[in-house]
Amino acid sequence: MGKDLRFLVVEDHAFQRSMMVEMLESLGVQSIHEAADGFSALEVTRELEQPFDIIVTDIDMPGMDGMAFIRRLGEAKVRASLIITSGLDKSLLGTMVTMIGAYGMRLLGTVEKPPTPERFAELITTHWQSRPAPAKTKQGPSTFSLEQVMEGLHAEQFEPYYQPKIDLRTRRVKGAEALARWHHPHAGVVLPYAFISLLEDADQISELTWIMLAKSAKDCRNWRDAGLDLNVSVNLSVKLLDDPAIADAITWQVTQQGLEPKHVILEITESAAMTSVGHVLENLIRLRMKGFGLSIDDYGTGYSSMQQLTRIPFTELKIDQSFVLHAARQESSRMILESSLEMARKLGITSVAEGAESAEDWNLLRDCGCDLAQGFFVARPMRAASFPEWVRTWA
Ligand code: C2E
Ligand code: MG
Ligand code: MG
């Protein structure tokens, strides 16, 4: 299982070190380097041309301790997965996960002494399963040009698809997130990564936003008229929030379709929301005062502090799917999930998990006390016309 992985084992006790090396060899690992302390370990990482995949390190070492070693790895832009060979207190584990994440690496988990081959096997499996997903906007360059996208917008080829948000306790459908889809005449249904950043970079995202807001407000109004008590979530690019007139324009788009702002949740990504730009904050406050719900999207990817979170009047915290996807099997993801839920509880806002793909994910989220979830396990985003029928069948 570990045949093609490159390991570095850092441990000051010679006996412990050779025991771990033997264990890894018994799992089929062929490339293992050893170091007795942080200094020589850093030297090895500098000298070798190919990077390590997994670094196994003790925390309690003479000279440079594990913490300093990890920091130096981060500074050297090492991107390995880490395994820590010391039992860590639960309260420290969470901080450790965040710290390692901040240095651009990830913690696969800890191995208590004496280590066992089974535990190493488990963590190697985690390494394979949890290799970071490509960032959403970086799934390769778009095959479309800005002109093509703009043409499509003007030809009304864009529409929202809806993905239900489900109450984990009552199993009721609470609403839906509107996700932009381009019905391209030749290419079929085109996903957002092919056009969102293109539009944002050219300062043209507002065109799409108006279409999404107007159509989702209209659809939501129709659902509500048909007796379905649902709200709708729309993604907002932070680029828009720089314009001091935007809050009024958004309100106008929504009320124009006969929908009240309190039935609309605006989602802003965590990295964008943690701004101190006056205009943006002003807009967020104004939108909240108009009655819109405000959601922090992709939470957990932006390292915001509790203090930053309290500064903005959010009503919902949406945990990024990367933590949900691996929570059932990866200790570090579960820690982030649990601490995010704790954060939402402290702030008194609704928690939403995105990317629940299996029954296992679903049950874990429910048991951890998450409020709402969305994900392929229940439904993929669907066209507006199919949504009310889907809601009735689900009930
Ligand atoms: P997001 O707001 O975080 O939306 C969630 C994404 O996760 C959606 O991808 C959805 O289809 C996907 N997803 C839902 N359930 C699952 C699951 O169980 N497993 C997995 N692997 N994925 C799941 P999509 O539709 O490709 O959208 C990507 C991103 O594009 C969105 O991320 C959002 O940031 C952006 N986006 C979409 N529509 C708009 C829009 O109208 N305006 C703006 N500014 N951004 C938008
Ligand atoms: Mg979203
Ligand atoms: Mg998200």
Nearest CA to ligand 1 atom 4: 179
Residues designated catalytic: 354
End-of-domain residue from the set 87, 102, 129: 129
- Indicate the pTM of the whole model: 0.74
Establish if 17 belongs to a structural domain: yes
CA of 321 to the centre of ligand 3 (A): 7
CA of 299 to the centre of ligand 2 (A): 10
End-of-domain residue from the set 65, 99, 129: 129
Quick one: 214 and 68 in the same domain? Answer: no
At 344, which CATH number? 3.20.20.450
Establish if 135 belongs to a structural domain: no
End-of-domain residue from the set 129, 158, 180: 129
Overall domain count for the chain: 2
Quick one: 211 and 95 in the same domain? Answer: no
Nearest CA to ligand 1 atom 37: 179
- pLDDT, position 134: 46
Establish if 376 belongs to a structural domain: yes
- pLDDT, position 130: 66
Establish if 269 belongs to a structural domain: yes
Establish if 95 belongs to a structural domain: yes
- pLDDT, position 323: 87
Quick one: 152 and 284 in the same domain? Answer: yes
Quick one: 32 and 158 in the same domain? Answer: no
For ligand 1, residues with CB inside 6 Å are: 136, 163, 179-180, 191-192, 196, 205, 208-209, 212, 235, 237, 267, 297-298, 321, 354-357, 374-376, 381
Nearest CA to ligand 1 atom 28: 192
Counting ligands in written order, the one closest to the CA of 163 is: 1
Nearest-atom number in ligand 1 for the CA of 374 is 15
As a whole number of angstroms, the distance between CA 246 and CA 140 comes to: 31
At 58, which CATH number? 3.40.50.2300
Closest Cα partner for 391 from 208, 159, 229, 185?
Answer: 229
- Each of the 395 residues of the chain gets a pLDDT tens digit; together they read 677 899 999 999 999 999 999 999 999 999 999 999 999 999 999 988 889 999 999 988 888 988 999 999 999 989 899 999 987 777 787 788 888 888 888 889 899 888 999 999 989 888 877 665 544 444 455 689 999 999 999 999 999 999 999 999 999 999 999 999 999 999 999 999 999 999 999 999 999 999 999 999 999 999 999 999 999 999 999 889 988 899 999 999 999 999 999 999 999 988 777 776 788 888 999 999 999 999 999 888 776 777 778 888 899 999 999 889 878 877 778 888 998 999 999 999 999 999 999 999 999 999 999 999 999 999 999 999 999 999 999 98
Quick one: 189 and 316 in the same domain? Answer: yes
CA of 230 to the centre of ligand 3 (A): 20
Quick one: 94 and 164 in the same domain? Answer: no
Quick one: 248 and 338 in the same domain? Answer: yes
As a whole number of angstroms, the distance between CA 315 and CA 147 comes to: 37
Helices (H) and strands (E) in the chain, counts: 16, 15
Distances 52 to 12, 29, 38, 42 between C-alpha atoms, Å: 19, 12, 15, 11
Quick one: 122 and 157 in the same domain? Answer: no
Quick one: 195 and 92 in the same domain? Answer: no
Quick one: 201 and 59 in the same domain? Answer: no
CA of 351 to the centre of ligand 2 (A): 13
As a whole number of angstroms, the distance between CA 341 and CA 351 comes to: 6
311 burial via Cβ count (<10 Å: 0-12, 13-18, 19+): middle
Establish if 137 belongs to a structural domain: no
Establish if 348 belongs to a structural domain: yes
The best mutation among 153, 179, 207, 322 to test binding of ligand 1, ranked by most ligand atoms within 8 Å of the C-beta, falls on 179
Quick one: 85 and 35 in the same domain? Answer: yes
Query: Residues with Cβ < 8 Å from 91, sequence gap 6 or more?
Result: none
Quick one: 69 and 40 in the same domain? Answer: yes
- pLDDT, position 272: 72
- pLDDT, position 276: 66
Establish if 82 belongs to a structural domain: yes
The boundaries of the domain holding residue 69 are: 6-129
CA of 297 to the centre of ligand 3 (A): 5
